[in-house]
Amino acid sequence: MDFSLSKEQEMLRKNVRDFAQKEVAPIAAEIDRLAKFPRENVEKMAKLGLFGMIVPPPFGGTGMGLTSLLVAVEEIAAACASTAMVFSSQVMMEQGLLAFGTDDQRRKYLPRLARGEMLAAESRTESVASSDFAALECRATPKGDQYILNGLKLFVCNAGEVDLYMVLARTSEALGAAGLSTLLVEKDTPGLEIGKTEDKLGLRGMPSREIIFEDCGVPRENLLGKEGMGAPQVSAMGGTGALVVGAISVGIARVAMEAAIRYAKERKAFDQTIGNFEAVQFMLGDMVMSIDATRLLIYRSAASVEKRQPNPIETFAAKIFSGQMVLKVTSNALQIFGGYGYTKDYPLERYFRDARAFTIYPLTQEIFRTNLGRMLLKLPLPWKGMPPMGPPGGPPKAGPSGKSHKTLGRTKS
């Protein structure tokens, strides 16, 4: 089992880190303060080819894979979480087209998405529901060679700034989630209108807006996959999205920890730097352990996806753990800064505000934990997903004295 990155991935990390710290980090505070979409950053990322990392070369991407994408996302998030969130929306659309799109849809959209010439966003949430797909009301009525889309979507990430929306809507009278389908809706489609912008606590450079559909005609050829498959499609795409969000959480937490370490080395109290205090050392030690554990969880899940053996238990565990981790790490980092951490003179308060979103987005921690528990209850015991404890063949048998004849890791000389 090899936990190291390849030489190519290490080079990728270095190059993206250099870019992010030079080009993205210096304007992150301004993006947050003005709630400004990071268009300038997005254009530079597109030139580097970052948006095409999971797209195969025949469709204009580099096909570097999910783990490489997560490596890059972490570095962008360490510079500006709002900019990194553009990754999440883009990857969801690319993943959806690769998994469920027709050849025509892939040829039409994937090259432009991979080059960053076109940006995309998912549109699911409504006032009546977000996680409860069965309650969604936005309706797409079949009419001739079109679907006539009517309804209101809320909290659409990057709405008004992107070119293509993946909309979950009701296309039949089938009960619950069975009546939902996914439609690809271009921004200039008549009947699509951008509504209110939410004034959010964090991730302020990623606008969350309403989309209003009023007799919006969507070509039937823009149906993703088959009718009635919308809910399973969104759930499948959400797995990759959850790992990307996990990498964003790692990036935020890492930069918060690094800031806390620097501050602990400089700030003095009682004639010594506060880094000499055991309480501060405990917090820093907990930070590095939890950040590294999270990174390994998301890399393990990504490796399963790349082997075409996706494990939703691994993915859910990584997402839940990452959301808890980033909130705790940024909170403790702010605590180390004391009163200064509570001011806008330092970036800790921004890290903390951004981190708070990841116990809610893309779904709440409670939903992920409930689904994880349900999956575990359906599995037979002993759980095959857990490696056996102890040596092969079970524990060594004890002799008459009650002591084992064998000792793990040693041979008798």
With beta carbons less than 8 A apart as the criterion, state whether 290 and 328 touch: yes
Whole-number pLDDT of residue 277: 97
Number of domains in the chain: 3
Percent of the chain whose pLDDT exceeds 90: 80
pLDDT in tens, 324-346: 999 999 999 999 999 999 999 99
| 203 and 68 both lie in a single domain | no
User: Where in the sequence is the domain holding 220, given as residue range(s)?
Assistant: 122-228
The CATH number that applies at residue 206 is 2.40.110.10
> What's the helix, strand, coil split of the chain in %, to 5?
55, 15, 30
| 303 and 204 both lie in a single domain | no
Asked whether residue 295 is assigned to any structural domain, the reply reads: yes
pLDDT in tens, 92-140: 899 999 999 999 999 999 999 999 999 999 999 999 877 788 889 999 9
Number of alpha helices (DSSP H) and beta strands (DSSP E) in the chain = 11, 10
Asked whether residue 372 is assigned to any structural domain, the reply reads: yes
Q: Residues with Cβ < 8 Å from 215, sequence gap 6 or more?
A: 148, 149, 150, 191
Q: What predicted TM-score, i.e. pTM, was given to this entire model?
A: 0.90
Strand pairing report for 208-219 and 192-197: antiparallel
Whole-number pLDDT of residue 379: 85
